[in-house]
Amino acid sequence: MPARRARKTPAATPTTRAAIFHAAATLFSARGLDGVSMDDIAALAGVNKAMIYYHYADKLALYRATVADMLTAAAATVAAIAESAAAPGDKLDRFIENFVRLAEARPWFPTLMLRETAEGAPNLDLDTLAHIRTVFMAFGRILAEGEAAGAFRAVNPILAYTSVIGPLIMNAARERVAAQPGRQHLPMLFTVSHDALIAHGQETARRMLKP
């Protein structure tokens, strides 16, 4: 009787890794870390669990990767804006627009981060949190430059940061609520274009910082 061949794990590919990442990000955003199992991720990604462990050490590592993906992109983008030769007001406008556009490309991020922050960020390590620091410090440099140039009034950078970022994240949460069937007729849940969101955020930030 011929020996049975061992079942092989499907070959790892960038496409497979992307499918795992997007499945995990979608589920983590909807349920949080503890509400998602590796079986859930494998089922949505269309892979077996062995393939997930080929790419990621464990569920927590995969969770942190979904958060770090957005924060790494935001840190690089905001640092480039802060270091550019643009006027402080233009840098502020670009900061707001780029944050919204980055979140558009990663629709899971705002609600995932809102949930994580509300719980005290227990699942984020120092390396992941360092990306947040990079974003905040770049934002602070924009504020300091604007104040030195007389374009902005002096403000607490922490309060300014939360005043700018908070509404953008809350609107993403509002969109999640509005996406549920039968709610679109409620005034609070009417569709707002992201172009309008960006313009409003820019105007509000400039008024807040006006000397």
Kindly state the percentage of the chain with pLDDT values over 90. Answer: 81
48 & 136 share domain: no
The verdict on 179 and 88 lying in the same domain is: yes
Residue 127 has which token pair? 């390396």
Does residue 47 sit in the same domain as residue 78?
A: no
Q: For residues 130 and 202, state if they share a domain.
A: yes
Query: Is residue 2 domain-resident?
Result: no
Q: Where in the sequence is the domain holding 86, given as residue range(s)?
A: 64-209
3-state helix, strand, coil in the chain (%, to 5): 70, 0, 30
Q: How far is Cα 135 from Cα 77, in angstroms, rounded to an integer?
A: 9
Judge if 22 and 75 occupy the same domain: no
CATH assignment of the domain containing 173: 1.10.357.10
Percent of the chain residues past pLDDT 70, beyond the cut: 94
DSSP-derived letter for residue 12 is P
193 pLDDT higher than 50: yes
Q: Give the CATH number of the domain where residue 30 resides.
A: 1.10.10.60
pLDDT level of residue 44 (50, 70, 90 thresholds) = very high
On the question of pLDDT at 4 being above 50, the answer is no
